[in-house]
Amino acid sequence: MSSVPYDFSNQNATLVHICCSVDSHHFLTSLQKLYPHKHFCGFFYNPNIHPYEEYQLRLEDVQRSCKILGIPLIVGEYDDKEWLQNAKGLENAPEKGERCSFCFDFRLNKTAQIAKKTHCTEFTTTLLASPMKLQSELFAQGEVIAKSWNLDFLPLDVRSKGGTKVQNELARSAKLYRQNYCGCLFALKAQRDKSQKNALELLSSLNAPQGIRNLPALRFHNFQTRTRLEQADQPYQILKRKVLHYQLLKGKLTCQNQTIPSFICDYSLLSKPTKAKVEFWHNGIGYANKEGILLLLFESFKDLLKISDFSTLLRQGLCEEIQLLLRHKIYPYGFFTSPLLIIEQPIFNDFTLEISHTMQEEILEDFLPL
């Protein structure tokens, strides 16, 4: 952040560090009611959030929330490398432990610095609204950091006396993005391990289009629907969809010791590397003798794929809607999970296929126009 766009020299202003929209919407609303004569400015600074697509989604949601509330917003740098460097040695610290204390200090010190630059007289943080944080610790750390910068820290308890319930109601009514982990990759992995799930947020699928190759990127893509609906003044509802989410991690087709370029479709299940051969070709499909493996010739299916050439398919990937349509076209009588590969030229010799994937239930947001 090379420059700060606001100067509150002649105003009674408070800089509010913002961690996410769910916490900030309630927190800022409470501040506006409690201190009607104060000026408030938001500061989004969260280099702990990982991956970057998750950061983008939370930032966009905070920008939307601040616009609704009429709060100006300063966006800090995403200096995740510096955050990770300073977090070394704390990777395995428990939630609400030493790593979280470091993370609070890291973000609040930057907040105090920006408060000085904008001539705010005090600062506070929406982390105080999070049930995942120790409020007493935040009060104490905020006071210490404020004194070191010759500023005041504004402590505010918005959790007690039913505050958390109000916060959730506000988040629903404002149709905010409700993230399911704090932000950093260490806490995320620990949380997923505890629930015996893979941290799909940290994995990218090889066959998906560039913009939706990991779970946060897919969520960010889905939330663009909300933006379009709101820009068109179209009423809508947010729906939660339970999805069996597939991610291709590795795939390799070899024939006569040569790797054959191929596109492996979603929901191709193979428990171990398998040696097989094509028994016959029919209408652009090669039928193998093991695991129900099918090899599809690109030229025979390019109209359905809506892609002009094979190299573009390999480079850009294919959206899941078309991949599922392709599976349904080939076999419409059940959820078809045989390995399904798209290749450019037919092969007639023995081949070996290896597929590594991960698949688990996830909750994804959908938007229903009314």
SS3 293: coil
- 66 annotated to a ligand binding site: no
Q: Tens place of pLDDT for every residue, the chain, 370 residues?
A: 445 788 888 788 999 999 999 999 999 999 999 999 999 999 999 999 999 999 999 999 999 999 999 999 999 999 999 999 999 999 999 888 899 999 999 999 999 999 999 999 999 999 998 877 778 888 999 999 999 999 999 999 988 888 889 999 999 999 999 998 889 999 999 999 999 999 999 999 989 998 899 999 999 999 999 999 999 999 999 999 999 999 999 999 999 999 999 999 999 999 999 999 999 999 999 999 999 999 999 999 999 999 999 999 999 999 999 999 999 999 999 999 999 999 999 999 999 999 999 999 999 999 999 9
Domain chopping of the chain, boundaries: 13-192, 244-363
> How far lies 102's CA from each of 83, 126, 217, 321, in Å?
10, 17, 28, 43
254 CB burial (10 A radius; 0-12, 13-18, 19+): middle
**260 and 251 in contact (C-beta within 8 Å)?**
no
Helices (H) then strands (E): counts for the chain: 11, 14
pTM of the model: 0.91
Identify the three-state secondary structure at position 367: strand
Is 103 within any annotated ligand binding site? yes
Q: What is the CATH number of domain 13-192?
A: 3.40.50.620
20 is in an annotated binding site: yes
Q: How far apart are CA 285 and CA 124, in angstroms?
A: 63
- Is 255 labeled as ligand-binding? no
The one-character DSSP state at 84 is H
The token duo for 367 is: 């938007």
